[in-house]
Structure 1
Amino acid sequence: MKITEAKVSAHRLPPSVPWEDATNKVDGLEFIVVELFTDTGLSGTGFTYTVDIGGSSIKALTEDYLVPLVIGMDPLCYEQIWSKMQRQSRRLGTGVNVMGMAAIDIAVWDLIGKFYGQPLYKLIGGAQDSIPAYISEINLKAQDSLNDILARVEGYMSEGYKAVKIKIGRPDINEDIERIVRIKQLLGKSGQLFVDLNQGWTAHDALVKASQLDSLGLGWIEEPILFSDVAAHKQLRQTITTPIALGESLHSRSQVLSYLQAGAVDYVQVDVAFIGGITEWLKIAHLADVFGKKVAPHYMMELSLQLLCGVTNSFMLENVIGGSFTELGLLEEPITVKNAVGVPPDRPGHGIIFDRKALDKVKLDPVSIRNQFSGGSK
């Protein structure tokens, strides 16, 4: 089997509900979709994404540079394909290049699944047939009241959820504490509450403020400090008992290894689109397992579902309100979480089938972006 042709497209649309956290207000999600065609008639679909910025750059890099590298290659030889793309793009560092690589790599694995007639999660290990899920909110608007968030949590609980993640990082930590305490009361002893800072604290603030949260029984504190500061995370981890989760802002295996070796992370959350695709994600999942850590991948619900069911050290599936392909109306066949449990589709490959007409309606227009972009970071 040989790859004979590829098509690359870019798309931009807002989350289906407004997103705002301690450091960013999201105006648009940008998806880059790659279709690989082979001489057997089989085709595979891959994708990557950015938040607000860079989609046109990733499309151009993928289409102009990465795709030509893989034409003529056998998709069953996924390690050869990944290594070739990495070697030829390594001068760009890590970030945009691995995000483009991810789209091709995911398409390759979709092809492999279709070639063997197996769903992705079975190809990569088939550790389990389902995975528990938690609700993940991106809602830290100033006008969002305590009663508002409590009402939403009640709604999640009515859908079967016992685990919820909220954004924190208000200027007054007492507001965060009040929300945490009240939500935990609502969830009850069997519930779990996770909090996410999106790197909103300085290293010094984290030592002070995380200590104030340490007795509240949180499941984890996520991305409390700047993602690149391993030493500060290590110091914080040695100071508090609450677990630390991170990884969505990391783009390489070596970055993850630095955190694991430092004992600075408890839950590894690398994003399959940001880390270079399934080939690299699997290596990181197994690496985390060696260190006795569980994986809880960031975002990409429909694909993370397959990944988590494939490996033994999976924790929970993140179901981000307003961000799944299904909620965005981009799939021909919706993939949903029911009663807080995700079950991967049994279709060969990753099972994600895009609605082409829906994608065409939200094609990314570089000229429009150029004239309107103002950025969402605070």
Structure 2
Amino acid sequence: MAKITSVDVLQADLKPKVKRTDAIQSFETQETPIVRITDADGATGTGYSYTIGTGGSSVCRLIDDHLAPLLIGREAEAIEAIWRALFFRVHATTVGALTSIALAAIDTALWDLRARKTGLPLHRLAGGAKEAIDLYSTEGGWLHMDEAELVEEAVKAKEAKFGGTKIKVGRPHVAEDMRRLALVRDAVGPAFEIMTDANQGLTLDEAVRRARHFESLDIAWFEEPIHADDVGAHRRLARSTAIPIAIGESLYSLSQFKDYLEAGACSIVQVDVGRIGGITPWLKVAHLCEAFNVPVAPHFLMELHLGLTCAVPNSRWLEYIPQLDLVTTAPIRIVDGRAIPSDAPGLGIDWDFAALERLIVHRSSHGAAPGLVPPL
């Protein structure tokens, strides 16, 4: 094993590739905290996480002031011990988004370092369960899109051999949501999946009402219908409908997922490596779901989640929502609507540091051998 000698911290701001709106918000920019960890052997791992427009500078400050200094001199291979030490160092700010996002950037860097040093791709290092994962598209279903555009994008996804498309719901009246969904269903037929996502925008009674209407369209799932903190409301909703209830992108700890699973309040788990605090807790959630016979279909970060969904046996879908191709040298490989993970050692992300350099808004270095990415 080799000790950590330096930690470098970046923030790069990536503009959304398309306009993205849902029932409660708009995706302003992908603030991307990036951490690079170098060990005494000279090996480096790169990790990252994200926000959708606010908090990125606070995440970087948390890493700079409280987390990165604790990494210097630690054995890089002791990933579990490091994660727990960092978690308890900032225990007063957990469980919460900013701390989880900060931990995720560090933890994914450590996993990238481990994978590169062992010569294995993430999907094999973390389990090696699958060689590919089914894709569904999110980019063609945003709430602001008109009906013709929704239909056009869904048909394109089907022609690309994707397995489904996600349509945002939460228009002022259920009749509006139903018209939009029905037009898509008519266009793609019964064998193509339609996922719906309310982004926590509904009350329990309205979620029950809309689920009752959505059942006639045989939708694949009803995602985040109610505020994520309310396990009881999700349990009541799940008991009222045959539609699978999907949750997870707004949960930040293993225990929160345990509460949902024990309550029978969900049947699809969308655990997000950037929100849960990294690969280390992501894998724990995935295996916990396996014990409950519940599939995982992670939220966002498709480039990183590709390796993870192929690592575990109970993964079902990968969300196609590209963003990192702005700062990588190659997109993910897709064959017949399925994503295939890279066999290169590491996370499977080939960063274009020259492109990244132009988007950096924060840079700092810690340790004996600083120097994240030389200015290019």
- Looking at structure 1, the residues matched to 59 and 219 of structure 2 have their Cα atoms a distance apart, in angstroms, of 37
* 1:132-159 deviation digits (Å, cap 9, x = unpaired): 11111375454x3211211111222222
Number of the residue aligned with 1:373: none
Number of the residue aligned with 1:234: 235
Number of the residue aligned with 1:369: none
- Looking at structure 2, the residues matched to 136 and 262 of structure 1 have their Cα atoms a distance apart, in angstroms, of 28
User: Could you list the runs of 5+ residues in structure 1 that have no partner in the other structure?
Assistant: 367-378
Q: What TM-score does the superposition give when structure 1 sets the normalisation length?
A: 0.92
Q: SS at 2:90's partner residue?
A: helix
> 1:313-324, aligned counterparts within 5 Å?
313-320=314-321, 323-324=322-323
Percent of pairs identical after alignment?
38
- Looking at structure 1, the residues matched to 330 and 152 of structure 2 have their Cα atoms a distance apart, in angstroms, of 30
Number of the residue aligned with 1:132: 134
- Looking at structure 1, the residues matched to 57 and 357 of structure 2 have their Cα atoms a distance apart, in angstroms, of 15
- Looking at structure 2, the residues matched to 325 and 312 of structure 1 have their Cα atoms a distance apart, in angstroms, of 26
Structure 2 counterpart of 1:119, one-letter code: P
Number of the residue aligned with 2:344: 347
Contact 1:113–1:350 (8 Å) recurs in 2: yes
- Looking at structure 1, the residues matched to 268 and 304 of structure 2 have their Cα atoms a distance apart, in angstroms, of 19
- Looking at structure 1, the residues matched to 83 and 94 of structure 2 have their Cα atoms a distance apart, in angstroms, of 15
Corresponding residue pairs, total = 361
Q: SS at 1:17's partner residue?
A: coil
Number of the residue aligned with 2:98: 96
Q: SS at 1:26's partner residue?
A: coil
Number of the residue aligned with 1:247: 248
Number of the residue aligned with 2:327: 330
> 1:195-206, aligned counterparts within 5 Å?
195-206=196-207
CA RMSD of aligned residues (A): 1.5
Kindly indicate whether residue 111 of structure 2 is the aligned counterpart of residue 109 of structure 1: yes
- Looking at structure 2, the residues matched to 117 and 278 of structure 1 have their Cα atoms a distance apart, in angstroms, of 18
Cα distance, 1:325 vs. partner?
0.5
* 1:207-252 deviation digits (Å, cap 9, x = unpaired): 2222121222010000000110000000000001100001000000
Contact 1:21–1:139 (8 Å) recurs in 2: no
Contact 1:18–1:139 (8 Å) recurs in 2: no
Q: What TM-score does the superposition give when structure 2 sets the normalisation length?
A: 0.93
Number of the residue aligned with 2:34: 33
- Looking at structure 1, the residues matched to 284 and 148 of structure 2 have their Cα atoms a distance apart, in angstroms, of 43
Query: For residues 139 and 363 of structure 1, do their structure 2 counterparts lie closer, same or farther at Cα, with a shift above 3 Å needed?
Result: farther
* 1:54-87 deviation digits (Å, cap 9, x = unpaired): 0000011112211111111112111111111111
- Looking at structure 2, the residues matched to 333 and 85 of structure 1 have their Cα atoms a distance apart, in angstroms, of 33
Q: SS at 1:121's partner residue?
A: helix
Contact 1:22–1:140 (8 Å) recurs in 2: no
Query: For residues 160 and 171 of structure 1, do their structure 2 counterparts lie closer, same or farther at Cα, with a shift above 3 Å needed?
Result: same
User: Could you list the runs of 5+ residues in structure 2 that have no partner in the other structure?
Assistant: 364-376
Of 224-233 and 20-29, the range deviating more from structure 2: 20-29
Cα distance, 1:353 vs. partner?
2.2
